[in-house]
């Protein structure tokens, strides 16, 4: 997804919408999608954490925000407001720039989420920036 005009820092760009589901259903849907991905190569999971009890399944056609890719050097960030999620600009974004945010997956399943963002600072896996030190340690141990 690309910006069609200049977007100033901290602008609310789009809401991430979908179906509110409990964690049990979220886990079931994630497992189903992973099994499908092994068969077809389609790995798109659009489930977003809302709280300790609920997630938002954004796998609905009217959720344009689901098309925003991950990046290790994102220009957007997801902000929660109750049970709603909005994508905001981290800094000024010029027209034509790809919109990206950090998906923030957990380091414990890093091998399931290789990153191909192509940014110079890319760590190689889609893991939250806060967990990069832990990922570096796991990668050292794996060598």
Instruction: State pLDDT tens for residues 105-141.
Output: 888 888 888 999 999 999 999 999 899 999 999 899 8
pLDDT score recorded for residue 30:
84
In the predicted model, is pLDDT for residue 91 greater than 70? yes
Q: Which residue has the higher pLDDT, 112 or 91?
A: 91
pLDDT score recorded for residue 43:
62
pTM for the structure as a whole = 0.86
Question: Alpha-carbon distance 112 to 105, whole Å?
Answer: 10
Residues pairing with 44 in the sheet: none
Residues pairing with 79 in the sheet: 86
Which string of DSSP letters, residue by residue, matches 76-105? EEEEEETTEEEEEESS-B-TTPBPEE----
Edge-to-edge strand order for the sheet containing 84-89?
12-16, 84-89, 76-81
**Residues 7-59 pLDDT 10s:** 999 999 999 999 999 999 999 988 888 777 777 766 677 888 999 999 999 98
Structure-block tokens of residue 58:
């954004």
Which string of DSSP letters, residue by residue, matches 112-133? G-B-----TT--SB---GGGHH
pLDDT score recorded for residue 13:
97
């Amino acid at each position: 997804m690309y910006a069609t005009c200049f977007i100033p820092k901290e602008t609310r760009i789009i809401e991430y919408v979908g179906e509110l589901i409990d964690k049990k259903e979220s886990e079931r849907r994630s497992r189903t999608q992973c099994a499908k991905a092994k068969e077809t190569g389609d790995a798109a999971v659009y489930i977003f954490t809302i709280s300790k009890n609920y997630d938002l399944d954004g796998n609905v056609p009217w959720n344009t925000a689901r098309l925003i890719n991950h990046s290790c050097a994102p220009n957007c960030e997801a902000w929660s407001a109750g049970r709603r999620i909005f994508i905001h600009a981290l800094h000024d974004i010029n027209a034509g720039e790809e919109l990206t945010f950090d998906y923030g997956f957990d380091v414990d399943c890093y091998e399931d989420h290789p990153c191909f963002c192509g940014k110079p600072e890319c760590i190689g896996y889609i893991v939250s920036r806060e967990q990069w030190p832990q990922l570096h340690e796991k990668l050292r141990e794996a060598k």
